[in-house]
Amino acid sequence: MTKLNTVAVVGAQFGDEGKGKIVDLISKKIDYVVRCQGGNNAGHTIVVRGKKLVTHLIPSGILHPTVKCIIASGVVLDIKVLVEEIEALEKLGLDVKKRLFVSDRAHLILPKHIDRDKNNEISKGKNKIGTTNRGIGPAYEDKVARIGIRAGDLLDKTVANKVLDKEYLKCAEIISPLITDTQSLINDIVFKGKKVLFEGAQGALLDIDHGTYPYVTSSNTTSAGILTGAGIGPNTLKTIIGITKAYITRVGDGPFPSEYDDKNAEKIREKGGEYGATTGRPRRCGYLDLVALKHAILLNGLTDLAITKLDVLDGEEQLQILIGYELNGKKINYFPANLKDLKAVKPIIKTFPGFKSPTAGTRKWDKLPDNAKKYLKYIEKECGVKVKYVSTGPERDDTIIL
């Protein structure tokens, strides 16, 4: 039996946890990066030779010249966006097409889905979800209704001519050579012992089944979504790393038990640069919610935690962690499914002293201020999952590996 070299990276909050940085860090030693669900609602800001670029579909692993990237069957694919990303990366001198594979089973996002997404939001009025307006939900709707068009269908010119306009037909021509049976490819590389990184998109609390429904995205954002989205068995994932910020943010509407008041939110937003990579929207900010994090740990079967943006908490006099919810006068230790309950919970808070000296740029555990170590150790002990990475700044090397 070949030794498996697989690792999954998933968001343990509402997305935007800084998965891109951890993926980028690990990708150096990886042969393949696989994107499994969601679509161009996700966004990675990457910097190449001083130029800033945001990719929404192609994994940031593409920046490493030996890494191959796979867009697997669970992704919903806007081929126009994909072509734009390929061309932008090629302009930076990267050889993309030889290293990118697109699933023949991935469902397409077409202009009609984007229109429907926008109209759905307008019709919901003040109950809108706050989607990214990229057509994600409607494309998954058509998939589940069994009326979707898949990337593989585009290889048949008659189908392509029927469903695509001129602009999309051109894009289909460009990506056709990349379309392949990724499910076979992925299983082949996994069982050959290649180093494969499965990259989740969004976060556990936006999961269609287990998140804050209906304020969620339309796919399974947990490790289960990686399995179905890539077409692999549950025993193929060896390590599952959950990414959480040292605090928590959310874009879009929906309940948020540990949300800061406006003043504190504004402070963290500015310090942490908390604006959406896809839509530019200001992110809502709060203090770390351990009930939600434990929910994410169970949903994903996390083996490791990566805690990002610790340095954003530098300079705070006092820190808070939400350690429990109180509902109708009783302490509860689960993440309620019912939105009314989730909106009604009162946070039970534990207060920690501020770090006193800065953590920014720290690359060794021993160099962290004692109060930062205590803060991290508390999270690890409460969650029962090893903290493997601590990120202390935007640079790849501003990371403590434990």
Task: Rank residues 111 and 130 by Cβ distance to ligand IMP and give the closer one.
Answer: 130
Per DSSP (E only), the strands in 246-396 are 247-250, 284-289, 304-308, 318-327, 330-332, 346-353, 386-391
Task: Rank residues 130 and 282 by Cβ distance to ligand IMP and give the closer one.
Answer: 130
**Rounded distance between C-alpha atoms, residue 93 and residue 304, angstroms:** 35
Least separation in angstroms between residue 200's CB and ligand IMP is 10
User: Residue 3 gets which letter from DSSP?
Assistant: P
**Rounded distance between C-alpha atoms, residue 173 and residue 83, angstroms:** 10
Packing angle of the helix pair 223-230, 290-300 (nearest 10 deg): 30
Q: Which of 24, 31, 44, 314 is catalytic?
A: 44
SS3 category, 277: coil
**Rounded distance between C-alpha atoms, residue 201 and residue 56, angstroms:** 10
In the block, residue with structure tokens 């269908």? 153
Least separation in angstroms between residue 147's CB and ligand IMP is 19
Judge whether 107 counts as a catalytic residue.
no
User: Residue 177 gets which letter from DSSP?
Assistant: G
Least separation in angstroms between residue 24's CB and ligand IMP is 16
Least separation in angstroms between residue 71's CB and ligand IMP is 15
Judge whether 16 counts as a catalytic residue.
yes
Least separation in angstroms between residue 306's CB and ligand IMP is 16
Q: Which residues bind ligand IMP (CB under 6 A)?
A: 14-16, 41-42, 129-132, 134, 136-137, 201-202, 206, 215, 217-218, 251-252
User: Residue 203 gets which letter from DSSP?
Assistant: E
Three-class secondary structure assignment of 359-387: CCCCCCHHHCCHHHHHHHHHHHHHHCCEE
Catalytic residue numbers read: 16, 44
